[in-house]
Amino acid sequence: MSAAKQALVVFSPSGKRGRFAFGTPVLQAARELGVDIDSVCGGRARCGRCQVEAVAGSFAKEGIISSPRHLSDMGEDELVCLQGGRLKAGNRLSCQAKILGDVRIDVPASSQVHRQVVRKDFEAHPVKLDPVIHLYFTQLTEPGLQSPQDDLQRLMQALDRDWGLSGLDWDLSVLKPLRSAIRGSQWQVTVAVRDGTRIVAIWPGLRDHIYGAAVDVGSTTIAVHLCDLASGEVLASAGSMNPQIRFGEDLMSRVSYAMLNPEGAGQMTRLVRAAINELVLQVADQAGVEPGEVLEVTLVGNPVMHHLLLGLDPAPLGSAPFSLATDHAIELPATELGLRLAAGTRAYLLPCIAGHVGADTAAVMLAETPWESDRINLIIDVGTNAEIVLGNGARLLAASSPTGPAFEGAQISAGQRAAPGAIERVRIDPATLEPRFKVVGGSRWSDEPGFADELGKQGVTGICGSGIIEAIACMYLAGIIRPDGVIDGTLADSSPRIESSGRTFSYLLHQGGPGEGQPGIHIRQSDVRAIQLAKAALHAGTQLLMDRLGVDKVDRIRLAGAFGSHIDVKYAMVLGMLPDCDLAQVSSADNAAGTGARIALLNKASRREIEQRVRQVEKVETAVDKDFQRHFVAAMHIPHATHAYPVLSKVVRLPGAGAGAGAATENRHRRRRSRTKLQKG
């Protein structure tokens, strides 16, 4: 071919360019240059995945004048695609458009196989879309007396010819549909191939979408996200309570149940699997997808959830040395987990890290990538156990701390889950000791007009985790609670909200009353103690990791989980749950475990990455560490017995900073006035 019959083709955004003979299909040019353009149908103008746009204009850098007219006219197949809505107006199918002159070709993100999927729900890094399963459309040769090969052989030949796929594995369950699929579709089929090595599904004709589910098995809730593996989009999400909760709210209760009841572990395994099946059906239904089209599932959970899901005995996780059955990532047919999905569907469980630090923490790490930073990152996933990761690109440490369920509102006298009617925000006037609060489902503060009307009949039903943390932090800031956590009974003289309950005192946060038909909501001494124990466990675990890392401060704190997204970090820090840190550097990582499960679903390389990273994590076992108890005792104080919290003190006046005699007197007067008002009310 002479040089005069060649054209310069420049692809954007990659910048790759090359000279090609007139008549070369754009897709072929792209392939030769290594430009990433998607295709399921193999250039048959069927899938619409290979769309590009020819840009008009003069480009000095490349020295070309580009025009859409430098591509061949649309042929019949392309026009059919355009009329059928599979080709966007102005775009061309790169498998059909031929090069007839210099041209700049823009490859939109939607046509790139390995495109970046920006996670809308999460601030961190976009995910590079590269799922473990890809679709391949192919045309088999018809069998005849002269070509007597079997169906499978002809399928393998077609896949090798069209896609260069050879030596593929298969099993009987996916082979069964092959015979009817090819005969019902003029010998055209779409094949789903996993990891370039195994056929996992076969459909007649063209199929251009497949789906995957990311499952986060928490001890309290289970969440399932259905993703389109072609676009990375989350199509539907659903969640439910973990039905195992009836055997105990916290992990150790479930381990005990499994130890004390011969059928206990099996019962819990069946329940969690049934719940996942139910949720997958729900999300598939919401998205209008057949459950049989869900071909890949990733699952994360803490070690006890992980073992129960797999049907492994969780008992050794109940006592030192807290041995895992395996800390490796596990890949297996989804049917082995009792999931009612397609026969070829595989499940991937992220690796666990240590006896109490599970695949959920591995997923949080995958979402947060602390190894990409030089700064000291502290990542905390608060559930019935707090899982803690500390470090940076140089070193990462992980531990778990037994916080118990108090942060979720359990073990609190008026505690409840964060559901409509639960107090979730609290403020207390330090002068009058009068509270105001907001409840889940309401938009008004309790001292604003219309608050009661907005709540309706339901009224105020209890207090949830974020509410109890704010309530106790505000009680401390108002001087109602002393640094040792004791509710100061001497204030009962000046505020009717401080009530005697035998040898201890309580604080009346909400009066309830006959109108509401509900009892008042008190913060009792036992509630303060439950929160102190939980926060001391969390702080001590964090401190232990900081000691091991040799740091006395952290640069950034990320709080994962539903709890992390609800609490006001300022009040969590006032309580001493977290180490002193610039509040601007403390943020919610939202549902990082679920996000990590989705990343593993959408990007196969991320699986190898997290498998490698968890091997490098230094595990610290808090339960048997001799320093844990010492840190725990110091952390029982609010905010802490020995840490002064200088950074927090710049934005919050902590008790002891001195309010002045005049202010104290005025406060006493105001309390008296509010006492009179409350009694009258």
Min dist. Cβ of residue 49 to ligand FES (A): 5
Instruction: CB nearer to ligand FES: give 47 or 330.
Output: 47
Min dist. Cβ of residue 551 to ligand FES (A): 53
Stretch binding ligand FES (CB under 6 A), from 35-43, 184-192, 349-357, 519-527: 35-43
Q: Beta 51-55 vs 103-106: how paired, if at all?
A: antiparallel
Min dist. Cβ of residue 44 to ligand FES (A): 6
Asked if 387 and 564 count as a contact pair (C-beta separation under 8 A), the reply is no
Binding residue for ligand FES, selected from 25, 43, 248, 409, defined by CB under 6 A: 43
Asked if 373 and 386 count as a contact pair (C-beta separation under 8 A), the reply is no
Min dist. Cβ of residue 82 to ligand FES (A): 11
- The C-alpha angle with vertex 427 and arms to 425 and 431, in degrees rounded to 5, equals 170
242 contact partners, CB below 8 Å, separation of at least 6: 217, 218, 219, 220, 221, 222, 272, 275, 305
Binding residue for ligand FES, selected from 29, 93, 600, 636, defined by CB under 6 A: 93
Min dist. Cβ of residue 139 to ligand FES (A): 13
Binding residue for ligand FES, selected from 16, 17, 49, 427, defined by CB under 6 A: 49
Binding residue for ligand FES, selected from 24, 39, 267, 543, defined by CB under 6 A: 39
Binding residue for ligand FES, selected from 45, 217, 357, 422, defined by CB under 6 A: 45
Measured between alpha carbons, how far is 638 from 535 in angstroms, rounded to an integer? 9
490-529 mask for ligand FES (x: CB under 6 A)?
Answer: ----------------------------------------
604 belongs to the binding site for ligand FES (CB under 6 A): no
188 belongs to the binding site for ligand FES (CB under 6 A): no
Stretch binding ligand FES (CB under 6 A), from 43-51, 103-111, 290-298, 488-496: 43-51
134 belongs to the binding site for ligand FES (CB under 6 A): no
Instruction: CB nearer to ligand FES: give 31 or 668.
Output: 31
Report how far Cα 641 is from the mean position of its chain's Cα atoms: 35
DSSP 560-594: EHHHHHHS-HHHHHHHTSS-S--GGGEEEEESHHH
- The C-alpha angle with vertex 396 and arms to 330 and 533, in degrees rounded to 5, equals 90
Give the three-state DSSP class for 673.
helix
Binding residue for ligand FES, selected from 16, 17, 46, 273, defined by CB under 6 A: 46
Min dist. Cβ of residue 25 to ligand FES (A): 9
Residue 524 in tokens: 């009792």
Q: Which parts of 457-486 interact with ligand FES (CB under 6 A)?
A: none
Stretch binding ligand FES (CB under 6 A), from 44-52, 128-136, 234-242, 407-415: 44-52
Measured between alpha carbons, how far is 347 from 337 in angstroms, rounded to an integer? 8
* CA atoms lying within 13 Å on the CB side of residue 103: 30
Instruction: CB nearer to ligand FES: give 48 or 370.
Output: 48
Give the residue among 121, 110, 135 at the shortest CA–CA distance from 41.
135
Residues facing residue 198 across a β-bridge: 169, 194
431 contact partners, CB below 8 Å, separation of at least 6: 663, 666, 667, 670, 671
41 belongs to the binding site for ligand FES (CB under 6 A): yes
Asked if 182 and 206 count as a contact pair (C-beta separation under 8 A), the reply is no
47 belongs to the binding site for ligand FES (CB under 6 A): yes
48 belongs to the binding site for ligand FES (CB under 6 A): yes
Instruction: CB nearer to ligand FES: give 74 or 410.
Output: 74
Measured between alpha carbons, how far is 94 from 52 in angstroms, rounded to an integer? 6
Stretch binding ligand FES (CB under 6 A), from 47-55, 116-124, 336-344, 640-648: 47-55
Instruction: CB nearer to ligand FES: give 52 or 181.
Output: 52
75 contact partners, CB below 8 Å, separation of at least 6: 45, 96
50 belongs to the binding site for ligand FES (CB under 6 A): yes
Measured between alpha carbons, how far is 226 from 602 in angstroms, rounded to an integer? 11
16 contact partners, CB below 8 Å, separation of at least 6: 10, 33, 34, 35
95 belongs to the binding site for ligand FES (CB under 6 A): yes
Instruction: CB nearer to ligand FES: give 49 or 115.
Output: 49
Alpha helices in 97-211 (DSSP H): 151-163, 172-183
400-419 mask for ligand FES (x: CB under 6 A)?
Answer: --------------------
Alpha helices in 316-414 (DSSP H): 359-368
Min dist. Cβ of residue 224 to ligand FES (A): 31
Hey, how many other C-beta atoms are within 10 angstroms of the C-beta on 464?
26
Instruction: CB nearer to ligand FES: give 137 or 632.
Output: 137
- Output the residue with the shortest Cβ distance to ligand FES: 95
Instruction: CB nearer to ligand FES: give 39 or 242.
Output: 39
Distance between first and last Cα of the chain? 97
207 belongs to the binding site for ligand FES (CB under 6 A): no
Min dist. Cβ of residue 9 to ligand FES (A): 17
Hey, how many other C-beta atoms are within 10 angstroms of the C-beta on 543?
22
Min dist. Cβ of residue 80 to ligand FES (A): 11
Hey, how many other C-beta atoms are within 10 angstroms of the C-beta on 327?
20
25 belongs to the binding site for ligand FES (CB under 6 A): no
Min dist. Cβ of residue 53 to ligand FES (A): 14
Stretch binding ligand FES (CB under 6 A), from 45-53, 147-155, 323-331, 627-635: 45-53
Residues that bind ligand FES (CB under 6 A): 39, 41, 43, 45-50, 93, 95
